[in-house]
A and B are shown apart, each in its own frame.
Chain A
Amino acid sequence: MIEIISSLVYEVTGTSRLIVDIAMYFGLLVIVAMALNFQYGNAGVPNMGSAVQVIVGAFTVSGITTRVAFLVVQMAGVQLLPYGSDYDWVYNNEVNVHVLTNPFIEKNPLFGIALLLFSISLAIVLGAVIGWLISLPAIRLRATFLMIVLITMADTSQIFGRNIPKISGGTLGSFIPNVFAWYPGDRGVITAVITLAIGLISFFIFKTMLNSPYGRLMRSIRENEVTVGSVGKNVVGIRRNILMFASGITAIAGVLNAFYFSYVVEAAYQRAWWTYWPWLMLILGGPGNNAGTFLGCALIVGMRRVIIAYKWSLEEFFFFPIPWLEDILLGLLLIAIMIFRPSGIIPEKLLYIPGVNYRQLVKEEAKVDWRAAPRARTEKERSKWSFKFWGKKEAD
């Protein structure tokens, strides 16, 4: 493990590659699953459209960051092939990115880091905008309507990516500049490390938000929205804010996924991948609980990556391709967890607010004047009381 990170290897292969892969996917999906946990587990907003927000992050990189990189590189004096029209954008893309832009980033590490930060911040903004847009039709209505809209949105975003080549090169996909070209080792390793770091940061952000007054408001909305509304809180507004915030965070996962592969194609952002599997992680770990989300994410990502890595040896035993076996596992696991363990592996715990001395509170609560308490009934009295209910009732 340590040698993968410390040594500047050019080729990470075999089991080490599998570990890097698992770490990368764990980082990506834990961001998505934590955002889902923030929305569904804590605020009761069933966001079945995380694929939309992830695809927005990916399209930010392929449609905007790549163009910005091209512009800067051109200004620096490197002659790029034309990329204005649809045709040029798709067919000169590979030369523009791999031959002309990447060596420039290799010489200017700061430019690469600036591009990474620019795409992440832009993705947060665009993700929030998309969150606001998809909340428009159904956030006021029943939760199931929101689910319907969000599920159908995922396919729509893929249609946009497929048919507008300027976004992500249509069905061919488009290469994107390698912002880690300055790193002498393997790109996958540094992307995985940065993804895990961002996952950790977002974990602390979510944790802080949950313990804030706003977080407690979110939980109260999940428990009973009518009561919260009657106290004078804007339930619809809070729900929309939550959806926007979590959408922004989810879009980061799309950005990092694009940089990991250095390539964006719409077919890689199907809703099964980016909506159903994260939901399975959330439900397996236990909604409303970040530790559970981490555990569920680790279990599912580990299982899936191992299945994919040993696909060829597994395929000898089946007459059909392994992805369908994975789908069957997904469906069965979701149903089995909901029936046999509805609260997940780690059930939700009570929220502890920092700064409140609970021990003191409990002590004060437990102070009972026993002399004023009613006399406990003995066994004898209880049997008498229960049988002679038609007779004269004895005074307590």
Chain B
Amino acid sequence: MNMIIPAIWISAIVYASLITVLSIGFTLTYLTAKIPNFAHGTYAGIGIYVSYTVSKILRLSPYVGFPIAFIVGATISATVYILVIGVLQRMGGGGIVLTISTLAIGIFLTAFLNIYCYWIREVYKTYAFGFMLREDDFVIGDYPGIFPFSLVLCIVAVISLHYLLTKTSTGVAMRAAAEDTELASVLGINVNRIQLFSWFLTGGLASMSGALLPLWFLSTPTTGGGLITSIMAGSLLGGFENVYGAIFGGFTVGFSEILVTYLLQGIVGTWVGEWRPLIPMFILIAVLLFEPRGLQGLYERFMASKMKKRIMSGTSRSEEE
């Protein structure tokens, strides 16, 4: 293959798109439910196995799996909200209790995925514990179809979310409920239904982006759960309470995780690959130590200093006009 864009860039872009969509979902859950959802990575794991089922067992194109993955993930996420999170919220469980419950859901779903693999082995006699679907992908020129598709999926997800949050009444209600739950309910917004919708949406998005993974990377039942550090690093880098910040944060973390490892492997040696999980960890700790509000905090500080300069130089906005 004679490729202008090297394979490592394809890996970086596919992975960065994946982490971006997941970080957006994670941030959205944090905004509406006020808890970090530790099961968010496991939703991606569900997407991985929907993709596997569609392409290896039903013998269809893996791209058919994306809408199915959305529906399956969204249904599971909504069920989780109805059965666990909503009940605990109504009981008045604090943030720590709710976070532990999401951890428990993550453990449960990971175990379920493993059992599903064993079930596939029993019934269909195929090996699902570690697989890749690169052969099932279509090819554009020299490039695999997943390369443009992941970017398109990421951009479409971002634009449609932006449209949803700013132009539709549901999105505006979601933002209102995220800002102040009680005030929103006074204004006649059914907060429970809004939360259910947001869990439905984030679960679907996470599962759909997880379906990207096996088309380029090796996937195992625990791959999804292992993504959670990168997702949280991306979300935290973007400010943790800002959906638009999560776009930048997620892309930066996903991109740097692949590229920094690759560059260091060239400089120091191949053994650096083992230390790859330390990169999101490092970003996480650095953000918490130096700027707990992430890029959003930096941006606000920058704007504040700009305003200060303007005031100091004696030209306020009204005088300029």
Residues of B whose CB lies within 8 Å of any CB of A are: 35-36, 38, 84, 87-88, 91, 93, 95-97, 99-101, 103-112, 114-115, 118-119, 122, 229, 232, 236, 271, 274-275, 277-278, 280-281, 284-285, 288-289, 292
Beyond A276-B103, A324-B111, A334-B101, list 7 extra A-B contacts (CB 8 Å): A141-B288, A151-B103, A156-B278, A328-B112, A334-B100, A339-B84, A339-B87
Q: Mark A333-344, 1 if CB is under 8 A from B, else 0.
A: 011001100100
Q: Looking at the complex, which one of A159, A279, A334, A342 makes contact with B274 (CB distance below 8 Å)? A: A159
Cβ-defined contact, A137 with B93, below 8 A: no
B100 and A328 within 8 A (CB):
no
Which one of A95-103, A109-117, A142-150 is at the interface?
A142-150
Q: Is the CB of A137 within 8 A of B288?
A: yes
Of chain B, the residue at the smallest CB distance from A148 is: B232
Selected A-B contacts with CB under 8 Å, 12 pairs: A40-B96, A142-B95, A143-B95, A148-B284, A152-B284, A155-B229, A276-B107, A279-B100, A319-B122, A334-B100, A334-B101, A335-B105
**Bound complex: CA of A332 vs CA of B115, how far in Å?**
15
**Which of A123-164 touch B at CB < 8 Å?**
136-138, 141-145, 147-149, 151-153, 155-156, 159, 162-163
Closest Cβ–Cβ distance, residue B311 to chain A (whole Å)? 31
Contact B111 A328 (CB under 8 A): yes
Measured in the bound complex, the distance between the Cα atoms of B103 and A279 in whole Å is: 11
Once the chains bind, are A147 and B88 in contact (CB under 8 Å)? no
Set of chain A residues within 8 Å of B119, measured between Cβ atoms: 319-320
With A159-B275, A338-B97 as contacts: A330 and B107 at CB distance below 8 Å: yes
In the complex where A46-B96, A320-B118, A334-B100 touch, is A339 in contact with B111 (Cβ < 8 A)?
A: no
B99 contacts A163, C-beta separation under 8 Å = no
Whole-angstrom distance between the Cβ of A182 and the nearest chain B Cβ: 40
Is there contact, CB below 8 Å, between A147 and B84? Answer: no
In angstroms, how far is the closest chain B Cβ from the Cβ of A223?
Answer: 12
Assembled-state Cα–Cα distance A153/B274 (Å): 16
* Chain B contact residues: helix, strand, loop or mixed: helix
Q: Quick one: closest B residue to A145, CB to CB?
A: B288
- By the criterion CB–CB under 8 Å, are B288 and A324 in contact? no
Determine whether the beta carbon of B107 is less than 8 Å from that of A272.
Answer: yes
Q: Which residues of A contact B (CB under 8 A)?
A: 40, 44, 46, 48, 136-138, 141-145, 147-149, 151-153, 155-156, 159, 162-163, 272, 276, 279, 283, 319-321, 324-325, 327-328, 330-332, 334-335, 338-339, 342
Is A331's CB under 8 angstroms from B104's CB? yes
For A320, the closest partner residue in chain B by CB is B118
| A131 to B303 CA separation, bound complex (whole angstroms) | 37
> Roughly how many angstroms separate A328 CA and B97 CA in the complex, as a whole number?
19
In angstroms, Cα B229 to Cα A153, docked, is: 10
Rounded to whole Å, the gap between the CB of A150 and the closest CB of chain B is 11
CB-CB under 8 A from B35, the residues of chain A are 144
Residues from chain B with a CB closer than 8 A to the CB of A145 are 288, 292
Write out the residue numbers on chain B whose beta carbons fall within 8 Å of the beta carbon of A330. Answer: 104, 107-108
- CB of B99 within 8 A of CB of A144, answer yes
A144 and B118 in contact, given A272-B107, A332-B108, A334-B104 (Cβ under 8 angstroms): no
B283 to chain A, nearest CB (A): 11
- On chain A, the residues within 8 Å of B104 by CB distance are 276, 330-332, 334-335
Q: Which residue of A lies closest to B38 (CB)?
A: A151
**When the two chains form their complex, are residues B278 and A324 in contact, meaning their CB atoms are under 8 A apart?**
no
Known A-B contacts A144-B35, A334-B100; the reply to A152 vs B232 at CB < 8 A is yes
Given A156-B281, A334-B104, A335-B105, A147:B118 Cβ within 8 A = no
* A137 lies within 8 A of B289 (CB): yes
Most chain A CB within 10 A, of B38, B88, B108, B110, is at: B108
Which of A276, A319, A324, A325 has the most CB atoms of chain B within a 10 A radius of its CB?
A324
**A338 and B108 contact, CB distance less than 8 A:** no
Residues from chain B with a CB closer than 8 A to the CB of A136 are 289
CB < 8 Å neighbour of B93 from A138, A327, A328, A338: A338
